[in-house]
Amino acid sequence: MSEQAAISIFFFFFMQVLVLSEVAILKPVLDEQNSCDFPAIINLGDSNSDTGGYAAGFYPPTSPNGNTYFHMPARRFSDGRLVIDFIADAFGLPFINAYLDSVGTNFSHGINFATAASTIRLPNRIIPRGGFSPFYLDLQYLQFEQFKSRSQMIRKQGGLFASSMPKGQYFSKALYTFDIGQNDLGEGFFANLTIQQVNASVPDMINKFSANVKNVYSLGARYFWVHNTGPIGCLPYVLSAFSSAEKDPAGCLKPHNEVAQYFNLKLKEAIVQLRNELPSAAFTYVDIYAVKYSLFAEPQKHGFELPLVACCGYGGRYNYSAEVLCGGTIRVNGTDIFVGSCDRPSVRIVWDGIHYTEAANRFIFDQISTGLFSDTHVPLKQACQRTSN
Ligand SMILES: *[C@@H]1O[C@H](CO)[C@@H](O)[C@H](O)[C@H]1NC(C)=O
Ligand SMILES: *[C@@H]1O[C@H](CO)[C@@H](O)[C@H](O)[C@H]1NC(C)=O
Ligand SMILES: *[C@@H]1O[C@H](CO)[C@@H](O)[C@H](O)[C@H]1NC(C)=O
Ligand SMILES: *[C@@H]1O[C@H](CO)[C@@H](O)[C@H](O)[C@H]1NC(C)=O
Ligand SMILES: *[C@@H]1O[C@H](CO)[C@@H](O)[C@H](O)[C@H]1NC(C)=O
C-alpha cells in the first residue's frame, strides 16, 4: 500500500470517527432546563428493586434488614433503601408499595410488581420447592394489566379506596423502571448448567424481556428506564458456590461475569431495537454493571472496604453460607449464633451476600442519575426525553 493510500485510509477513518462522535454529542436533544415531571413510578423486577412483594407473598426479611434507614425490617433485602427508593425520592414521590401487599398500601404515585427471586423466564424451582419466585416477568405484566383496569374501576366507584389509586393519565406519564435478569443467570448456574449453556440461553431471556416491554408499552407506557444486570460473579452467594472458577483481578468470578456482560450486550441491542420499533417511547439503558463493578474493583476510592465480604452473613471467606442467611440463627457447638449486621454497614458494599447495602445503593443511584452510565447520556431527571439511536 502506498503511503498516500495509507494516509487517505487513515483520513477516511478519522473523518468517520469525527462524524460518529458528532452524532454521539448531538444525539440527545435534551432540554436541560425542564426536568420530567413523572407523577408515578411503575417498577417490574427482582430483589434489587423489591419493596415488599416477596415479603407479602412469602417470607418477610427479618432484623437486621432495614436497620440503617427504617430502624426495623422494611420488606426490603438491605439494611436500608434500594436504588428504586432513591429514584422515587429524586422525583419527590413516596416510596412505591408492592402490588402484592394488601396491608396499608397506597398506589396513588406508583406501584411495584417486583418480587425478590423473580426471573424473566418461567423458573423451574419455585418457592417453597425451590428458591425462585413464581412471579416471573410475564406474570408481573399480567398483574400490571389487571391493576391498570381495576384501579380505574375503584377510582370511578369513589369512596375509601379511590384516593390510593393512580389517576388514569398517570399510566402514560409514569416512569417505568425495570431491573431483572440476575436470577435467570443465577438459576442456570445453580442448576449446574455449564457457563456455555447459561450463556446460550441469554438471547431467549432478552427476547422474553422485550416482549414484556412491548406489552407494557401497548398499555400506554412511554418512558422506560432499564437497568442492565450487575456483576453476579462478585456476589458472595455465587463466589462461595463456585469457588474453583477463574477469578479476575478484583477477585470476582470471570466466567460468571462474562455471561452477565453478554446478557447486557444483548439487552442493549434489544433497547436499540425497541427504540426503532416504538418511536413514541423514550428508552434509557442504564449500565448498572459498570457502577457496581467499580465498587468491587476500587472500593477504597469510593470509601468502601471488604468488597467481596457480606456484612450480614455467616462463615467462610465471603462471610456467607447458604445454610443460614442474614437474620437467621445457626447452632454451632451447642451455641446459637445470630446472623446480625457487621459494625459499619456504611462502608460496606454487600449486605447479605446477595444484595447491596444502603450505602452501595446510594452510591449507585448517585452515579446513574447523572446520565453518565446511560447509553444516550440521559440523566434520570430527563428520562422522558426521546433520543434516537
Ligand atoms: C394516598 O396517597 C395520596 C397521596 O399522597 C393521598 O392524597 C391519599 O389520601 C392517600 N390515600 C389513602 C387511602 O391513604
Ligand atoms: C449441583 O451440583 C452440586 C455438586 O455436585 C450438587 O450438590 C447440587 O445438588 C447440584 N444442584 C442441582 C440443582 O442439581
Ligand atoms: C456467550 O456467547 C456469545 C455469542 O455466542 C460469545 O461471543 C461469548 O464469548 C459467550 N460468552 C461466554 C462466557 O461463553
Ligand atoms: C466446634 O468445636 C470443635 C471441637 O471443640 C472445634 O474444633 C471447632 O472449631 C468448633 N467450631 C466452631 C465453629 O467454633
Ligand atoms: C460477618 O457476619 C457477621 C454476622 O453473622 C458479622 O457480625 C460480622 O461482622 C461479619 N464479618 C465481616 C467481616 O463483616
pLDDT digits (tens, 9 = 90+) for 117-160: 999 999 999 999 999 999 999 999 999 999 999 999 999 999 98
- Our answer on whether the CB atom of 269 is closer than 6 Å to any ligand 3 atom is no
- Our answer on whether the CB atom of 18 is closer than 6 Å to any ligand 2 atom is no
Residue 30 has a pLDDT of 53
Residue 382 has a pLDDT of 96
Could you say which ligand is closest to the alpha carbon of residue 315?
5
Residue 287 pLDDT level (bands cut at 50, 70, 90) = very high
List 355, 369, 374, 375, catalytic entry: 355
- Ligand 5: lining residues by beta carbon, under 6 Å: 306, 309, 311-314, 319, 339-340, 342
- Our answer on whether the CB atom of 192 is closer than 6 Å to any ligand 2 atom is yes
Average pLDDT over residues 241-249: 98
Average pLDDT, the chain: 93
Residue 125 CA, ligand 2 centroid: distance in Å: 13
Residue 350 CA, ligand 2 centroid: distance in Å: 25
Residue 387 pLDDT level (bands cut at 50, 70, 90) = confident
Ligand 1 atom closest to Cα of residue 163: 11
Domain boundaries, the chain: 39-304+375-382
**204 counts as catalytic:** no
Residue 338 has a pLDDT of 98
Higher per-residue pLDDT: 198 or 8: 198
What's the CATH architecture for 39-304+375-382?
A: 3-Layer(aba) Sandwich (3.40)
- Our answer on whether the CB atom of 332 is closer than 6 Å to any ligand 4 atom is yes
Alpha helical stretches, state H, the chain? 3-26, 53-57, 83-90, 137-157, 170-173, 182-190, 195-200, 202-218, 236-239, 254-277, 288-297, 358-368
320 to 109, 339, 355: CA distances (angstroms):
37, 10, 12
Average pLDDT over residues 189-205: 98
Whose Cα sits closest to atom 5 in ligand 2? 192
Residue 202 CA, ligand 3 centroid: distance in Å: 10
Residue 389 has a pLDDT of 77
Residue 343 CA, ligand 5 centroid: distance in Å: 8
**71 counts as catalytic:** no
Residue 284 has a pLDDT of 98
CA distance 289 to 377: 16
pTM, whole model, 2 decimals? Answer: 0.91
In this structure, what C-alpha cell is assigned to residue 308? 467481596
Residue 8 has a pLDDT of 45
Average pLDDT over residues 315-323: 97
- Does residue 378 have a pLDDT over 90? yes
**352 counts as catalytic:** yes
- Our answer on whether the CB atom of 228 is closer than 6 Å to any ligand 1 atom is no
- Does residue 335 have a pLDDT over 70? yes
Could you say which ligand is closest to the alpha carbon of residue 333?
4
Average pLDDT over residues 283-302: 98
Residue 199 pLDDT level (bands cut at 50, 70, 90) = very high
List 47, 240, 369, 374, catalytic entry: 47
Residue 31 has a pLDDT of 55
**Which segment of 31-40, 155-164, 267-276 scores lowest on mean pLDDT?**
31-40
Confirm if 59 and 128 have CB atoms less than 8 A apart. no
- Does residue 237 have a pLDDT over 60? yes
**Residue 170 CB neighbours (<10 A):** 20
- Our answer on whether the CB atom of 333 is closer than 6 Å to any ligand 4 atom is yes
